[in-house]
Every structure is written in C-alpha cells, then in structure tokens.
C-alpha cells in the first residue's frame, strides 16, 4: 500500500508542475490565483499521503488543517486586493 | 457609462459580500478553537505557541478581510494589542525568572514543583504550557499589530470609530477595458 501512495504522490507532484506552468505563464492574474489555489489543494492531499507513508496521519492532519486555512486566507486576501484596485 | 457608474459605486462602498461574510462567520470560532488546541497541545504534536498565535492572527485577519478594519479594531484596538504583546513577553520571561529565583537555570521548570505542589514531570509540563501561552499571546498581538500597520489606514487615533473610506478610493476610476 505504501508503494501505491508513493506513486500517487509522484503523480500529484507532476500535476503540481502542470499548475506551476499556469502560475508562471498565466495570461491574467485570476489564472495565476486559481492555479496557486489548486496547488495548495494538491499539496494538502500530498501531505496526507506522506503522513500515511510515515504512519503518522494524525500529525499530518494537523498540518493540513493549517495549510488549508492559510490557502483560503491567501486567496481571499488576493481577491479583496484586486477588487479594491478595480482591475487585474 | 452605466458600467463606469456602477464601478465607482462598487469601489466607494465598504467591501460587503454575503458569501464571504457568512463563511467567515461560521469558520472563525472553529479557527480560534483550533488555535487554542495547537497552543495547548504543542508538546505532543506539531505546533506550539508561535504556530497557535499565528492561527489566532489568521482568524483576526479573516475578520479584517470580511468585515473591514472598523470591525476588527472594535474588538481589539491597537493599544490593547500592544498591551497583550507586552503581557505575553511578561508571562514568558516571568516564568523563566521565577525558575531563576527558585535556584535553577532560566526556564528550569523543575524548580516550579514546590510552588505548584505537583511532581517534577508534571511541573515541567505545566511550565511548558505556561510559556507557550505567553508566546502565543505575544505572537498573536505582534502579528495583529503588524497586519494593522501594513494593511490598515494610517489615521486611526480614535480606535472606537469605524474607519472612513480613504480619499483616494473615492476617486473616479476608468472602467476596465
């Protein structure tokens, strides 16, 4: 089962690279923001799977909760910033 | 033209979004309880005073983002934040100096056992908890005042009032192409 989780982790890392392309080359700022948010969500699952591999899921779930919170907060702050500026 | 009028009205209005405000109103108590869990459970799991304080600040930043600066300053104003910061440092250094006065090293919690009336391992655990509460308070207040300084409007001497919209935001903006 650990091997399966390891391969899922590698695949998720590949998907993170795909999102990173959108972050770097994104035409508009909204594209970059959504891509960063997607990277955050993938990182969450990746961390939980690493927790399964290390056999300490309860520890990694704590980290993931904080990570999800900060991801949400960052997206909210960016959207508020661009709404106040009025353009992207 | 109508579009530009709408745009200007949107910009001069205080940021209000029903979805964001409702989500924040639901999430903030759980975030704060989670921060207290991280502070109090710091010596068994990842976390501790610094991380718990940052999560507490994150809940305050959510209030800031969703309800505006006036709402968050009405709860904790700048003066109270500075007092909380100093209080946190005082708790941390006070516990350390108390150990020093009782004949141990700085932050040598085993010396607290006669005062607390418990065994030495329990005194160490309680001492770490007290120090982490102090660190959490200090970090929360310091980061909160940093957020207010870098994101808030500068003229807030009367902290109880709701902050008026800054002048430059009321200036007409050209519509987005």
Q: What are the Cα distances from residue A65, in Å, to A1, A6, B3, B72, B109?
A: 24, 22, 41, 24, 31
Establish if B146 belongs to a structural domain.
yes
Establish if B136 belongs to a structural domain.
yes
Domain count, chain B: 1
CB-side neighbour CA atoms (13 Å) of B88: 20
Residues 6+ apart with CB under 8 A from A41: A71
Interface mutation target, options B55, B56, B150, chain A, most CBs of A under 10 Å: B55
Smallest CA–CA distance, residue B176 to chain A, in Å, is 6
Could you give the CA distance from residue B16 to residue B125 in angstroms, rounded to a whole number?
A: 45
Establish if B130 belongs to a structural domain.
yes
Measuring CA to CA, which residue among B45, B46, B41, B72 is closest to residue B59?
B72
- Residue of chain B minimizing CA distance to A84: B11
Measuring CA to CA, which residue among B44, B40, B138, B65 is closest to residue A69?
B65
Measuring CA to CA, which residue among B152, B10, B167, B148 is closest to residue B79?
B148
Using the predicted structure, report yes or no on whether residue B173 has a pLDDT greater than 80. no
Contact assessment for residue B111 and residue B103, using Cβ atoms and an 8 Å cutoff:
yes
CB-side neighbour CA atoms (13 Å) of A7: 3
* pLDDT for the residue numbered B168: 54
Establish if B160 belongs to a structural domain.
no
Q: How many residues does chain A have?
A: 88
Instruction: Name the range with the highest mean pLDDT among A76-80, B28-32, B122-126.
Output: B28-32
Using the predicted structure, report yes or no on whether residue B175 has a pLDDT greater than 80. no
Name the pLDDT band for A5 (thresholds 50, 70, 90): very high
The three-class DSSP label of residue B11 is helix
Establish if B112 belongs to a structural domain.
yes
Could you give the CA distance from residue A41 to residue A66 in angstroms, rounded to a whole number?
A: 12
Cα first-last separation, chain B: 12
Contact A76 B20 (CB under 8 A): yes
Rounded (10°) CA dihedral B142, B144, B145, B148 = 160
Contact B61 A73 (CB under 8 A): yes
Establish if B162 belongs to a structural domain.
no
Q: Which domain holds residue B47?
A: 2-151
Q: In chain B, positions 102-141, which contact chain A (CB-CB < 8 Å)?
A: none
Contact B173 A83 (CB under 8 A): no
B83-87, B129-133, B160-164: segment of lowest average pLDDT:
B160-164
Please check whether residue B25 touches A, CB under 8 A: no
What average pLDDT score do residues B14-18 get? 68
Using the predicted structure, report yes or no on whether residue A81 has a pLDDT greater than 50. yes
Contact assessment for residue B153 and residue B70, using Cβ atoms and an 8 Å cutoff:
no
Interface mutation target, options B45, B59, B151, chain A, most CBs of A under 10 Å: B45
Instruction: Identify the contact set of chain A against chain B, taking CB-CB distances under 8 A.
Output: 58-59, 62-63, 65-66, 69-70, 73, 76-77, 80, 83-84, 86-87
Name the pLDDT band for B1 (thresholds 50, 70, 90): very low
Name the pLDDT band for A58 (thresholds 50, 70, 90): confident
* pLDDT for the residue numbered B10: 46
Name the pLDDT band for B157 (thresholds 50, 70, 90): very low
Establish if B90 belongs to a structural domain.
yes
Q: Read off the pLDDT of residues B31-85 as tens digits, 9 standing for 90 and up.
A: 999 999 999 888 777 778 899 999 999 999 999 888 888 888 888 888 999 999 9
Measuring CA to CA, which residue among A34, A40, A39 is closest to residue A68?
A40
Using the predicted structure, report yes or no on whether residue A84 has a pLDDT greater than 80. no
Q: Contacts of residue A80 in chain B, CB cutoff 8 Å?
A: 15, 65
Contact assessment for residue A72 and residue A31, using Cβ atoms and an 8 Å cutoff:
no
The three-class DSSP label of residue A86 is coil
Using the predicted structure, report yes or no on whether residue B159 has a pLDDT greater than 50. no
Contact assessment for residue A68 and residue A60, using Cβ atoms and an 8 Å cutoff:
no
Establish if B31 belongs to a structural domain.
yes
Tokens of A79: 């959207």
């Amino acid at each position: 089962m650990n091997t399966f989780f390891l391969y899922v982790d590698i695949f998720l890392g590949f998907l993170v690279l795909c999102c990173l392309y959108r972050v770097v080359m994104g035409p508009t700022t909204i594209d970059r923001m959504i891509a960063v948010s997607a990277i955050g969500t993938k990182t969450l699952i990746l961390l939980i799977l690493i927790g399964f591999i290390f056999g300490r899921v309860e520890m990694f779930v704590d980290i993931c909760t904080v990570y999800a919170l900060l991801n949400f907060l960052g997206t909210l702050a960016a959207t508020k910033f661009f709404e106040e500026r009025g353009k992207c | 033209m109508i579009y530009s009028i709408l745009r200007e009205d949107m910009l001069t209005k205080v940021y209000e979004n029903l979805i964001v405000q409702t989500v924040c109103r639901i999430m903030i108590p759980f975030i704060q309880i989670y921060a207290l869990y991280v502070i109090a459970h710091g010596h068994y799991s990842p976390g501790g005073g610094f991380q718990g304080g940052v999560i507490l600040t994150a809940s305050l930043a959510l209030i800031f983002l969703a309800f505006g600066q006036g709402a968050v300053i009405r709860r904790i104003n700048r003066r109270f934040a500075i007092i909380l910061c100093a209080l946190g440092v005082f708790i941390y250094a006070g516990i350390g100096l108390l150990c020093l006065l009782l004949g141990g090293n700085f932050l040598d919690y085993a010396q607290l056992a006669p005062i607390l009336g418990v065994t030495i391992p329990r005194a160490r655990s309680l001492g770490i908890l007290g120090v982490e509460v102090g660190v959490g308070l200090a970090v929360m207040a310091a980061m909160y005042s940093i957020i207010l300084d870098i994101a808030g409007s500068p003229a807030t001497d009367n902290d109880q009032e709701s902050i008026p919209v800054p002048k430059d935001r009321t200036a007409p903006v050209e519509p987005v192409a």
